[in-house]
């Protein structure tokens, strides 16, 4: 490969969190009128320019709790807290409510986005839909002239119809209560055709519903449906799952996982591994994709340490709960070719191939240096041809809370809070990569660092 690490600087880790204000639901929706055409064009430009990497981690309340809090006092008729009622409609049970697939195997879902959202919220929306793009054949695309589309509004609360219902289809994402990555993905998943996980037909094998602890008026939210589960196991980690205290009348649990009552449910980070599998199964996506959503773990090629398959085209999306993704290769054996035109790995600083490239077509047997993303998302692409194969790769991933990776010249960076005081006992990592032939510098400092540093490649 054609790059080398030229410096690694250690300094400090910073934790952060943000809270989300809450508002209420609304009734009524509208499409942008012709006089708003300029505003719509501005929205599309703003989404294109939006920086998902600037988005902070959401607060600790689980997704469904935030949705229900945002929907308090609504007059709109809903079921299960955020499903806008149209009885009997489910894409899983009725293909009429699936979004149609194009000839190239892609499922485009047009959306019209209200101009009520600010730049950070547009960044959140962009980040949320990019995971669908990276891991499935679904593409949320700006609406132009399509008859059927999602009309996404900010008039209070969070809510969606199930599946494609035709025409201008309302989807509620209140700017002050619902613009959180997991909530956005939750409502979009409803629009793709999915109900809440704990309502599926086999749920009694996996959870106990404590009806004695549920507010009587909300018992209907816990009804069991006759569902097609797509042959995929029950998913406690689904972004579509209620938390254990939903609609509790007395503060006691309403949903108890079994046989292990301590299994986490109602996670807030976004689509789960099985959420992705369900989308790909429902829409018959011909993709090879892997989601790595944990704080740390292992990433390995298929069949490792045996030879990887020919004609592979796979991606791994690493999404840590917070911080910036780090990726360290421990083994690397990819068929070598001039310019790595045969088999290769490519690494992107973000969730899709549209993001900056961190490593461009690496092959051979030399280990790739430590990689650090600028956010909590990193995409790894692996491509092989039909000829020679190698044993593949093994890497560990994790995260840092402070630091970065720089790949252009010149770059200036500072210690946290510079020129003010940084926090004692903390640790950051910066990686600066320069082209082959430039001097390699590696140095380490204690947290005594407090002055600005500038490096030229």
Max intra-chain CA distance, the chain: 72
**27, 76 Cβ separation under 8 angstroms:** yes
Question: CB atoms < 10 A from the CB of 250, how many?
Answer: 10
What are the E-state strand segments in 49-183?
78-79, 83-84, 107-113, 138-142, 149-153, 158-160, 168-173
Q: Which of 187, 223, 284, 381 is catalytic?
A: 187
Strands 429-435 and 3-10: antiparallel
User: Which helix (H) or strand (E) segment is 7 a member of?
Assistant: strand 3-10
Q: 4: which DSSP letter? A: E
Q: Among this protein's residues, is 187 annotated catalytic?
A: yes
Answer whether 325's CB lies under 8 Å from 390's CB: no
Separation of first and last alpha carbons in the chain: 17
121's enclosing H/E stretch is helix 119-135
The answer to whether the annotation marks 186 as part of a ligand binding site is yes
Write out the DSSP string of 46-72: HHHH--GGGPPPP-SS-HHHHHHHHTT
**What is the distance between the alpha carbons of residues 206 and 259, in angstroms, rounded to a whole number?**
7
Residue matched to tokens 């402070």 = 402
**210 in a labelled binding site:** no
Q: Which residues are annotated as a binding site for Zn(2+)?
A: 186, 190, 196
Q: Cite the active site residues.
A: 187
| Sequence ranges of the binding site | 186, 190, 196
């Amino acid at each position: 490969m054609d790059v080398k690490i030229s410096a690694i600087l250690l300094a400090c880790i910073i934790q952060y969190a943000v809270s989300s204000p809450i508002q209420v639901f609304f009734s009524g929706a509208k499409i942008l009128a012709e006089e708003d055409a300029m505003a719509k064009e501005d929205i599309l430009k703003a989404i294109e320019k939006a920086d998902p990497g600037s988005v902070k981690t959401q607060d600790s309340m689980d997704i469904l709790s935030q949705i229900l809090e945002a929907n308090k006092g609504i007059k709109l008729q809903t079921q299960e807290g955020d499903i806008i009622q149209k009885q009997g409609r489910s894409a899983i049970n009725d293909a009429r409510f699936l979004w149609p697939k194009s000839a190239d195997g892609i499922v485009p879902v047009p959306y019209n986005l209200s101009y009520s959202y600010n730049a950070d919220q547009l960044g959140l929306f962009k980040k949320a839909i990019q995971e669908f793009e990276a891991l499935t054949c679904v593409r949320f695309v700006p609406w132009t002239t399509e008859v059927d589309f999602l009309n996404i509004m900010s008039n209070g609360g969070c809510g969606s119809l199930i599946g494609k219902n035709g025409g201008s289809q309302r989807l509620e994402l209140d700017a002050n209560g619902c613009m959180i990555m997991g909530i956005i993905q939750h409502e979009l998943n409803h629009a793709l055709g999915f109900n809440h996980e704990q309502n599926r037909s086999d749920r009694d094998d996996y959870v106990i519903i404590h009806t004695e602890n549920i507010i009587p008026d909300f018992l209907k939210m816990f009804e069991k449906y006759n569902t097609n589960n797509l042959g995929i196991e029950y998913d406690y980690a689904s972004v579509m799952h209620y938390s254990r205290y939903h609609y509790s009348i007395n503060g006691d649990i309403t949903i108890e996982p079994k046989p292990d009552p301590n299994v986490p449910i109602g996670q807030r980070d976004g689509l789960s591994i099985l959420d992705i599998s369900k989308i790909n199964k429902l829409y018959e996506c011909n993709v090879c994709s892997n989601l790595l959503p944990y704080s740390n773990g292992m990433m390995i090629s298929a069949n490792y340490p045996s030879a990887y398959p020919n004609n592979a085209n796979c991606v791994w999306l690493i999404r840590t709960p917070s911080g910036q993704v780090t990726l360290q290769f421990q083994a690397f054996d990819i068929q070598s070719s001039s310019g790595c035109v045969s088999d290769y790995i490519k690494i992107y600083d973000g969730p899709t191939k549209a993001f900056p490239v961190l490593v461009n077509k690496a092959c051979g047997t030399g280990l790739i240096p430590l990689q650090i993303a600028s956010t909590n998302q990193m995409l790894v692409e692996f491509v092989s041809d039909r000829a020679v194969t190698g044993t593949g790769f093994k890497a560990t991933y994790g995260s840092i809370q402070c630091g970065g990776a720089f790949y252009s010249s010149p770059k200036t960076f500072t210690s946290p809070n510079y020129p003010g005081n940084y926090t004692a006992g903390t640790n950051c990592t910066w990686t600066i990569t320069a082209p082959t032939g430039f001097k390699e510098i590696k140095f380490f400092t204690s947290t005594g660092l407090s002055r600005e540093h500038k490096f030229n490649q």
